[in-house]
Structure 1
Amino acid sequence: MKNVLIVGASGHSKVIIDIIHKTKAYNIVGFIDSFKKKGDIVYGYKILANFTDIDEIILNYDIYGIIIGIGDNHTRKECKEKINKISSYIKFVSVVHPSAILANDITIPDGTVIMAGVVINADAKLGEFCILNTNSSLGHDSIMEDYSSLAPGVTIGGNVKIGYCSAVCLKASIINNVHIGQHTVIGAGSVVVKNIGDHTVAYGIPAKTIRERKPNAKYLLCSNLRKQQNSISPS
């Protein structure tokens, strides 16, 4: 089996490891992580080095490819760009859980992760470094641009476009023919029935634009966002 490194010793990376174990597609040699101690064990694998030593690790361990185990879209993009500056020749690989159901014409680009129970229907298009989390679905003719993500339980209708680096959070639903802009976050449990613009936080039933957001603004485990959502009743 070909050797791979996982960048980011996170909860998301643990799910990636489980997928690789089930598919037996690669041999995981360990983690690269700049925020945890070298030598620590995470989910059975050692943290080998931080970013500054990645080129050396690639050579010493005969690394075929890298998987970025980071859930935050903007951080994943920054991580990929940093790796390319250090090691421009390295390959980024994708992983697909064996229980995922994909139409015959679906192509999986570099760096994209597809988890258990995902459904991707006919003529849908995925960008690079996308995440489709557990039991999410992408409707026919829909598009996910690079670095976009669907959280667990998200339902996307047909002919929907999810913009670059945008995130659709837990259990949200988007009806047919809706466009979501770039760097936008759709809050958990929302129902989106009309287009949402770029650089926006939107949520509710139906979803409404709440405020602007910067591309690097955090959205995972964001207590302030949850508090704001809880204060708005469906209308």
Structure 2
Amino acid sequence: MEKPVIILGAKGIAHPALEIFNSNQVIVYGFLDEDQSLYGTEINNIPILGNPEDEGFLKLIGKKTEAFVAVDDVKYRKFLVEMLIENRKVQPVNAIHERAYVSTDAALGHGNFINANVTIGAGAKVGSHCIFHTAALIDHKAVIGDFVQIGAGSIVNAEVTIEEGAFIGSGVTIVAGVTIGKGARVGAGSVVIGSVGKNETVFGNPAAKVK
């Protein structure tokens, strides 16, 4: 990546995103965040410059810099992604830690956060704007939709499908062939042995629906 990166968001995954770009010798120009109390402060010597919707900073994106959206909240993440696409005609770049393993046979979209020791196996298909926390394992031929978040140490076995906007907590195991529906939530430490419906929340071993 030749251009420096502006990171939209200065909380949550923003700090590890900075570490990821540092690990790949990519220069981070600065952070943009809506929290005015952060303006003028720094994260690891990188300044928090202003608001993500400030045209003065946004006009740099696409011409002089790339952008990465480091926001955990799905709705706000979607808003910022759509703003970049509409206003700047650019897609956020992927942030892939140097210690992550992504198979040469895997397909990746845009704007994904892939932290250290994540594994994405052969033939896996990953959408855009997903968050993979440390040591998450995505086995071969799994299909991950857009805006999915997968917690640290979770295991997504072969040929699992996780649909758009689903949230998988830390330390979850999803057995092969299962489908996790759009917007579903799987609680930390759960073992999922059957498919989970759209917008359902499940928890436990074996995972059961939470009413």
Distance in 2 of aligned mates of 1:72 and 1:173: 23
Distance verdict in 2 for CA 1:182–1:50, change over 3 Å = same
Write out aligned runs for 1:1-235 (5 A).
1-24=2-25, 26-37=26-37, 38-53=39-54, 55-59=55-59, 62-85=63-86, 87-211=87-211
> In the aligned structure 1, how far is the partner of 2:17 from the partner of 2:179?
29
* Mapped contact 2:85–2:91 kept (Cα < 8 A): no
> 2-side partners of 1:198 and 1:158: how far apart?
21
2: CA distance between counterparts of 1:161 and 1:138?
11
Distance in 2 separating the partners of 1:74 and 1:162: 18
Q: Which residue identity does 1:8 align to in structure 2?
A: G
| 1:91 match: secondary structure | coil
Query: 1:19, 1:169 → 2: CA distance?
Result: 21
Structure 2 unaligned segments of length 5 or more: list them.
none
Tell me, which stretches of 5 or more residues in structure 1 are unaligned? 212-235
Runs of 4+ in 1 over 3 A off after TM superposition: 58-63, 82-85
Deviation at 1:121, TM superposition (A): 1.0
Shift, 1:19, TM fit: 0.9
The answer as to whether partners of 2:84 and 2:91 remain within 8 angstroms in 1 is: no
1:110-146, Cα deviation, whole Å (9 max, x unpaired): 1011111011111110001011110010011111100
8 Å contact 2:36–2:50 — kept in the other structure?
Answer: no
Separation in 2 of the partners of 1:21 and 1:77? 25
Residues 107, 123 of structure 2: 8 Å contact kept = no
How many Å apart are 1:3 and its aligned residue?
1.8
Instruction: Output one character per residue of 1:11-48: Cα deviation in whole Å (capped at 9) or x when no partner.
Output: 31110111111111x22111110124322223322111
SS in 1 for 2:202: strand
Does the residue aligned with 1:5 lie in a helix, a strand or coil? strand
Once the two structures are superposed, residues 160-188 of structure 1 have per-residue CA deviations (whole angstroms, 9 ceiling, x without a partner) of 01110111001011000100001111000
RMSD: 1.6
* Kept in 2: contact 1:74–1:165 (CA 8 A): no
1:13 maps to amino acid: A
Q: CA deviation at 1:4?
A: 1.2
- Comparing 1-10 with 173-182, greater Cα deviation is found at 1-10
- In structure 2, give the amino acid aligned to 1:40: T
Conserved 8 A contact 2:145-2:165: yes
The 1-side partners of 2:53 and 2:143 are apart by 35
Q: Aligned with 1:29: secondary structure?
A: strand
AA in 2 matched with 1:172: V
Q: Report the Cα distance in structure 2 between the residues aligned to 1:76 and 1:11, rounded to whole angstroms.
A: 12
2:184–2:199: 8 Å Cα contact kept in structure 1?
yes
The sequence identity of aligned pairs, in percent, is 26
TM-score (ref. length: structure 2):
0.92
Counterpart of 2:23 in 1: which secondary structure?
helix
| Paired position in structure 2 for 1:229 | none
Inter-partner Cα distance in structure 2 for 1:191 and 1:172: 6
Q: Kindly provide the CA deviation profile for residues 210-234 of structure 1, in whole angstroms up to 9, marking residues without a partner as x.
A: 13xxxxxxxxxxxxxxxxxxxxxxx
